[in-house]
Chains A and B, each alone.
Chain A
Amino acid sequence: MLELRGVTKRFGDFTALESVDFAIGAGEIVGLLGENGAGKSTLMNLVGGLHQPNGGEIRWDGEAVHLTSPRDATARRIGVVHQHFMLVPVFSVAENMALHAPQAVAVFHADEWAARVEAWARALGWRVDARRRVEELSVGERQRIEILKALFARTTSQKTKAESEAESEAESDDADETARLLLLDEPTANLTPGEADELFDVLRGLRARGCGIVFVSHKLREVMALCDRVVVLRRGRVVGEHPVSQTDAARLATLMVGREISAARPLRATSDHAAVPSPAEAVAALDDAHLTIRNLRCGVLRDFSLQVHGAEIVGLAGVDGNGQQELMEVLGGLRAPDAGTFEAGEAQTPGETANATRRAGEASGSAARTLSIIPADRQSVGLIHSFDLAENMALSRDLRAACRGRFAFDWTHARRTTRDLMERFDVRASATRERTPAANLSGGNAQKLVVARALQWSRGAVVAAEPTRGLDVSAARFVREQLRRAADEGRAVLLISTDLDEIFELSDRIGVLYEGRLLPDENLLPSGASRETIGAMMGGLVQGKGQK
């Protein structure tokens, strides 16, 4: 039915997909597995008409097609369900469906549409109240509406209520409207296990009716349970394709994370005191430079606890959307947790120890003072675009303290310090140097600036999220070296990254964030843990205690 032959997609210098072959027939569910950035979404967007390939061809029913817009795809009865809901919450179900109708609706007859949508859903064996507003629906119900919307591929013309009623009787008629191929991007990301099971029943039902389904996921168990065939992507290439019956989850996990060992010298601690602290040392570490997170609850996060000691880097692997964002927002003070606390200490300076706790709900606490954040989103959270570089550096409490004058803020000092730091961290700006607006910095230089600000003054714990995402090799290397140096200085470093290579290169201990929980829940893995173990955890094959 659908066939991709040697499809390549590049975004600038970045190759998202390289010579990918992929095929799916009617009545088949194909799982598409891969880590973040493996190319799953790009492949979906090519078939869904959002992007066009740079090379290769897409064939539909045996003939090459150019899908230049989502509408093209819809017209060929290809339906897409995106990971994030694309529904208008204040609209009713029927209105949302009408919005999606390939043909513009000149006059909207609410009752007619509602009846039509309901009749149509009934034909699929679903009960839907099309007059309810989407915001009143549960997440699972919304997901179902999304699928309904995607399936609702073609409408011939405005039909009367009677006609649509009649149509629901005759199944062959409405099959004409149904999508023949359904693309689902991480459809279970927002669902409870029970809701996911219901979704699977629905998808199996569609398969029985001859619908082809591409199921994009990183959850190995779900893929194994639902799919007929699995295609594994890694770094834009197909690295494996197996019928589910002839493979197992462990093998898929290995394929997904790959076996290649990073060529770079591991930036791990050479002394072993950081890796395995004795109890006494652990207590000492707790006193000065640690990051302790207790029973944090927020969004996806469920009773997340973690302790990072001084002088070590703990790597937190995991697929995006498993709680990384919530964790960063809470630690960064952007969001108050529903429950739980965290505290951060400072690396000991002679004669002084600092220790601060931020409790749940407290708007501002001193923990922020001892915690340095390198946010994943450096563009909107890390920097202020309209401010120049010196002003951005002055966001650091410590630089401001140094610049406090009697009558005025000492901008001369701030500028001189910024200039020095730019030299030391090799931040390249235009001739205006520290007066350059941050908006004019390249990604690598912007990140170096953020890192410099986070590491320069404070002696406290460091939390870095995706610190090298989008950076070139040398800039990434530089940033990683700086993080290692921070740990060597005795600071606690928590590295949250979806890049497994980075986790392996830097971490002294490794944990996995899966569905808001830390795995393994007893002791974190040593730096030498196998990729297979971590891959299995990322895919949800290994569960913590107290979970099913």
Chain B
Amino acid sequence: MPAPHEIEPRVLPSLLVPGAPRLYAACFLLFAFFLLPLVVMLAGRSPLEAGAALVQGAAGNPSRLAESLSKTIPLVMTGLSVALAFRAGFFNIGAEGQMLMGALAGAALGAKAQWPAGLVLLGGALAGAAWALLAGVLKVRRGAPEIITTIMLNYIALQLVAFAVQGPLQEAARTQPQTDVLPPQSQLPALLPDTNLHAGLLIVLACAGVCWWLLFRTERGFLWRAAGANPLAARGAGIDAGRQTLQAVALCGALSGLGGAMEVAGATKQLGMGGFGYGYTAIAVALLGALNPLGVLPAALLFGMLDAGGKAMERTAGVPSVAVSVVIGILIFALAVAPRLRRTN
């Protein structure tokens, strides 16, 4: 696997970010466009019918669109987390774990302590930051590869959640492995009644904007990018690269953790067993968004719609939603391989 600084953000294709190679992006879009029908045909179904079901399910009516958007919210947070960390030279595979820790902290502060939503979110962000810093400090001070430590920390987070919802945080009824529903003051208000779409959407937009500003319009962000793009050159210029990386890692953990807390306080309203999976899709979101916070927004929306639409497709057209996963997998592969193909030509 290439080290973060070996991947040049500039050559990553992006459909939406200005300055990205246009022709290449167009080919990429076409490729994705034809890939899904092919997979559907392999599954023995009509691609037209499946496609219609997918689009219908993702954006057919306001409530479907709200569903897509509510899936987009955690993808933006984790996507920002991965993109930011990547820019600072930290290959964050741990967005999932950081998100879980944020959700756990949010559930504890909400369902148990019954704190107001603002503090629930803050607690989630801090928990995520602390979780990410574990891997960050191990990397910067001891040279432990973050690709391994963050993946391992994901499993630890998963088990901590499992322990909590069956133990100290389990619902009062003690029947299911889940927490109580958060009290109203701990919840994020819904944007559309009777949907999962919550006020986190506004927070997400603000986060993307702030991250972009930080990365490209402030000295701090410049130092992070320098430390990520070439730690040797950064250190040679008197920049403490390890410190920059740690700062960025803390922020990216906070973003994931906030995403987890928002998921609990806004969408699910309680915490159950199992992982979210958003933290892994986030890697694809970040790459498709060209590691640019503003690119992450549309990329997350695309994946959010694919997710929501895929489930609808399964229900109405009988095409298993894993067909979408297959396409996403191939896209990630293409994203990782494509810049290298380009360079050798």
| Chain A residues close to B by CB (< 8 Å) | 332-334, 363-364, 368-369, 373, 375, 380-387, 391, 394-397, 400, 403-404, 408-409, 411, 437
Contacts and interface: CB of A to CB of B under 8 A. Distances in A.
Contacts of A396: 237
Contact of B230 (A363, A380, A403, A411): A380
A324 B24 CA distance: 45
Contacts of A368: 238
B236 A387 contact: no
B280 interface: no
Contacts of B232: 334, 380-381
Main secondary structure of the interface of B (DSSP, over half): helix
B190 interface: no
B217 A364 contact: no
B229 A384 contact: yes
B219 A404 contact: yes
A402 to B, nearest CB: 11
A396 B8 CA distance: 22
Given A386-B229, A408-B217, A411-B217, A381 B222 contact: no
A26 B29 CA distance: 67
B9 A386 contact: yes
Contacts of A381: 232-233, 236
B139 to A, nearest CB: 16
Given A380-B230, A408-B213, A364 B10 contact: no
A363 B240 contact: yes
B236 A375 contact: yes
Contacts of A332: 235-236
A363 B230 CA distance: 18
B236 A382 contact: yes
B237 A385 contact: no
Contacts of B225: 387, 391
Nearest to A439: B8
B215 to A, nearest CB: 11
B232 to A, nearest CB: 5
B218 interface: yes
Contact of A400 (B9, B10, B219, B235): B219
B239 interface: yes
Given A381-B233, A411-B217, 9 more contacts: A333-B238, A384-B229, A384-B234, A385-B230, A395-B237, A396-B237, A400-B219, A409-B218, A437-B10
Interface string B4-26: 00001110000000000000000
B310 to A, nearest CB: 35
A334 B9 contact: no
A386 B226 CA distance: 10
B100 to A, nearest CB: 32
A404 B222 CA distance: 12
B8 A385 contact: yes
